[in-house]
Structures are given as C-alpha cells and as structure tokens.
Amino acid sequence: MTYKEKIKQIAGLIKQSKKTLALTGAGISTESGIPDYRSPGTGLWEKLNPMKTASLSALRKDPAQFYSVNLERWAIYSNAKPNYAHYALAHLEKAGLLVGVITQNVDSLHKRAGSERVWEVHGHLRTFHCMSCHQKYPFQDVVQRFRSGENPPRCLKCSGVLRPDVVLFEDRMNEDFFQATQVISGCQLLLVVGSSLTVYPVASLPGAAKQVVIINRTPTPWDETAAVVVNETAGKVFRDIMFELGEQLPEIVEKAENN
C-alpha cells in the first residue's frame, strides 16, 4: 500500500468510527524540539540510565543529583510549542471525531494545542509537590529557586523535598491511567502516534481497541495486528490526513495560535 493510500484509509477509518481515541508518546513531540527516549542512537535512555537518574529511589537517595540531572531538561518542555500533530488531534476532538487523547508525555503540549479531554498517564510537569506535606508548587517557581542556587528545592512550609507530579520509575500508575483503561473500553479505533509501544502497562492499551492505526517513525510490537502502519513523522501524516478530511491544517494552526 502506498503512503497516499494509507492516508486515505486512515481518514476513512476516522470518519466511520463511532469511538476514536489517540494514544501518544514521545515521538509526537520531537517536532516540537523535545527529544524522545528510545530512538536508536538518539534516545535519551541510551545516554542516561533512567533507574539511576529518573526513578523514585534516585530522588530519595540524592535529591540534589536528581534535580541537577533532570530539571533543566524538563525546563525545555515549558518553552516548547505544539506542532501540527497536536493541533490536528485537538481539532478532531472539537469536530466530534475524537473522544480524547491518552498520552505518555509530560510536556502538556496537547492541552496547549486545545485538547480538552487528555489523560496524562505519566503525569505532567505543571506542578511539583512536597513529599512530606503534599503542598503544591508551580513548576516555574521550582525552576527559579533551583537556578537561584537552592538544590534541592524544598517545601516552604515543612522543608520536605519537592518532587514533580510525574510518574517516575518505581512509582505506581496515576489516576489518569486507571481512567484511561475505562474510557478505552468499546474503542473502535485507536490512533497510536509517536509511541514505541514498549513501555508497560500503557503498551497494553491497544489490545482494548477494535482497530489500531500506528503512526510512528520506527516499527512497534503491534505493527502486525494494526490496520494501518505509517512510518513517518506525525506532523506530516496529520497534515495529509486533515487534508483528506477536507481540512487545511496550516490554517487551523494559525487560527489556534492567534486565539
């Protein structure tokens, strides 16, 4: 099947489906300047051992080292802008063609693009909280304090160590994940975008969908059972899907960015 035929088929599946969801991973945000984790040769976890740098035990063992390794990298996320794929999914939701987005990403780009129903199954970086008294702090406040020399940043109420509201390695899954396992029940079409589908338990979610479309630059373990697989960048694919659906994505993006 040619690329053009795949685009036509995906657009047709979206129009026919009565319950469509998207499942997104780090690959949807690479076009926004955020590196992914597992691409051969460039993935972040090929350079850093996540168990030693981004786990709950790493935070507890050496909070200052945890912040030194992770915080400036995370600060890049706050400056990133949504790309075509984020805006396309937000528009599909507004058009009634998409129930919502289940995302493994912590960058908040779906929300910035206008998606309203987003299940952030690995948490987000908008806030931190104290590990002792659970007082919340905005992300930018923590970054400013760290840059002023406070490492690790501590709770202003009880001096407890702060942690991001993300699901670290060794953490239990959050409430959004358990909601996602419920909302995906009865899903007729799941659009997997930019996910390697190798991180469990999220990688098990496609099994709940009747049909799966995979848009990812590299192969995934689910390719053989998917209805359509497109190994291309998400922005390009969604620009072409939206055109096939009669929508001009550049115009949609321009309008959204000006609002």
User: Which positions are catalytic?
Assistant: 122
Q: Which helix (H) or strand (E) holds 124?
A: strand 123-130
Phi-psi region of 138 (alpha: psi -120 to 50; beta: other; left: phi over 0): beta
What whole-number distance in Å separates Cα of residue 44 and Cα of residue 46?
Answer: 5
- How many helices (H) does the chain have, and how many strands (E)? 10, 9
Count Cα neighbours of 52 within 13 Å in the Cβ-side half-sphere: 5
Residue 31 φ/ψ, nearest 5 degrees: -75, -10
What whole-number distance in Å separates Cα of residue 150 and Cα of residue 246?
Answer: 52
